[in-house]
């Protein structure tokens, strides 16, 4: 680590501490040339994969866009912000667990539908109707049947 005062390349770590939340490491350093002390912080850099749209366009992953999709589907539904945050965190963790640089946006959309089905059936139908571009009432019936089958599986 280069000294911020004299730009000397050699510094010595004097003290190392874990941050309160455990997400970073704080290090006190001393320059081997000018003897001045300074603090550095070490954080893990986690890169989210890019989303590949059906058109082939690549787009940066956005929690805000994900949250907006949930917000629209859950409009006036009895689902708490904490539940939405948990669902978003499940999706983010699944994305990170894949370890890929690029992921199909369709896959993320399916994960959103899975989370919505668990949170609120009406929101799931709303999202599915737009996401799967329902064209007629039969599409809605199929989605309702799917929800009923899921409910029956859970009750068993």
Q: Are 42 and 22 contacting, i.e. CB atoms less than 8 angstroms apart?
A: no
Name 51's bridge partners.
Answer: 59, 103
Rounded to 5 degrees, φ, ψ at 81 are -60, -40
Q: What does the pLDDT look like over 84-106, one tens digit per residue? A: 999 999 999 999 999 899 999 99
Whether 153 has a pLDDT exceeding 60, the answer reads no
Average pLDDT (4-11) is 96
Domain spans of the chain, in order of start? 11-43, 50-144
Q: Report the alpha-carbon distance of residue 140 to residue 154 in Å, rounded.
A: 21
Average pLDDT, the chain: 88
Name 50's bridge partners.
Answer: 102
Q: What does the pLDDT look like over 131-140, one tens digit per residue? A: 666 777 777 7
Residue 152: pLDDT band (50, 70, 90) is: low
Q: What percentage of the chain exceeds 90 in pLDDT? A: 63
CA distances from 57 to 52, 54, 85, 92 (A): 6, 7, 27, 20
Sequential DSSP letters for 81-99: HHHHHHHHHHHHHHHHHHT
């Amino acid at each position: 680590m280069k000294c911020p005062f004299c730009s000397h390349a050699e510094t010595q770590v004097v003290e190392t501490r874990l941050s309160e939340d455990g997400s970073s490491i704080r290090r006190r350093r001393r320059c081997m040339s000018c003897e001045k002390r300074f603090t550095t912080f070490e954080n893990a850099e986690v890169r989210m994969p890019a989303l590949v749209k059906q058109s082939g366009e690549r787009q940066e992953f956005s929690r805000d866009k994900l949250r907006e999709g949930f917000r629209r589907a859950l409009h006036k539904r009895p689902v708490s912000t904490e539940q939405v945050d948990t669902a978003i965190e499940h999706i983010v963790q699944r994305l990170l667990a894949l370890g890929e640089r690029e992921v199909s946006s369709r896959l993320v959309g399916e994960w959103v539908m899975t989370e919505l089905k668990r949170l609120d059936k009406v929101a799931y139908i709303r999202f599915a109707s737009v996401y799967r571009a329902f064209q007629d009432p039969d599409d809605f019936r199929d989605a309702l049947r799917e929800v009923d089958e899921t409910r029956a599986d859970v009750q068993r």
